[in-house]
């Protein structure tokens, strides 16, 4: 007999995130799960900490990615040739190596970018507004900027007390090195942590009082 498979809560959750980002004008992109040594170096990542591919599909895709950011940066380079502003997002797995006996740890992340050739500081607050559409209870916190992040426009994202990601403007030098004008604001968060935080605070049924109070 045909049996209905059990519902996958993560699948439904990812659909909701996609729908919310699409409603905010973002277009979903799909990138390869590989990167090159130059990609890792650009985002201050140690290539030794990445898994190397024995049979790469291209000479410059030699390692498995530990972040979605290098792929999104390539999307920025490709799209600035045709558009003065755009919004993109990707949902995919970061691949982190473990011991030689264990399979790598795949962590589902969501990352989005807002690019504007004539952007200003308001783009950061626009990205914050989009983030609050996804997580109404999200709070930003002060955090030390990484080399590829703008030193004054970088923050951590906390949801129900758990740090789930970061929101930041790309350091201007990264865009200038590619001959790109304007500004790019991104956020990157762990979808599994975000879902766990939301489920831990989900509303639970409470039975009504047997003898409710009444004011006179």
Cβ-Cβ contacts under 8 Å for 210 (sequence gap 6 or more): none
Q: For 18, phi and psi rounded to 5 degrees?
A: -60, -45
pLDDT given for residue 79 in this prediction: 95
CB 137, CB 170: distance < 8 Å: no
In angstroms, the CA 197 to CA 104 distance is: 24
How much is the pLDDT for 2? 93
pLDDT (tens place) for every residue of the chain, 216 residues total: 899 988 888 889 999 999 999 999 999 999 999 999 999 999 999 999 999 999 998 888 999 999 999 999 999 999 999 999 999 999 999 999 988 778 999 999 999 999 999 988 899 999 999 999 999 888 999 999 999 999 999 999 998 888 999 999 999 999 999 999 999 999 999 998 888 877 766 667 788 888 877 777
Q: Which pLDDT score is estimated for 201?
A: 64
Q: pTM above 0.95?
A: no
pLDDT (0 to 100) of residue 210? 83
Residue whose entry in the numeric block shows the structure tokens 């380079």: 77
């Amino acid at each position: 007999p045909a049996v209905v498979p059990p519902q996958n809560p993560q699948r439904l959750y990812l659909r909701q995130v996609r729908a919310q980002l699409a409603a905010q004008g973002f277009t979903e992109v799909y990138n390869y799960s590989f990167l090159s040594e130059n990609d890792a170096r650009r985002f201050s990542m140690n290539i030794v900490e990445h898994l190397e591919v024995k049979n790469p599909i291209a000479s410059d895709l030699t390692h498995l990615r530990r972040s979605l950011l290098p792929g999104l940066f390539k999307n920025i380079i490709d799209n600035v040739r045709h558009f003065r502003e755009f919004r993109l997002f990707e949902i995919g797995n970061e691949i982190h190596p473990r011991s030689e006996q264990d399979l790598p740890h795949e962590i589902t992340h969501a990352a989005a970018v807002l690019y504007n050739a004539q952007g200003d500081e308001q783009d950061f607050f626009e990205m914050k507004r989009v983030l609050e559409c996804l997580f109404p209870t999200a709070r930003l916190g002060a955090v030390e900027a990484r080399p590829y992040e703008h030193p004054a426009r970088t923050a951590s994202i906390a949801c129900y007390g758990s740090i789930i990601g970061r929101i930041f403007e790309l350091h201007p030098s990264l865009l200038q090195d590619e001959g790109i004008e304007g500004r790019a604001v991104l956020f990157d968060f762990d979808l599994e942590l975000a879902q766990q935080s939301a489920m831990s605070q989900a509303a639970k049924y409470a039975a009504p009082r047997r003898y409710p109070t009444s004011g006179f």
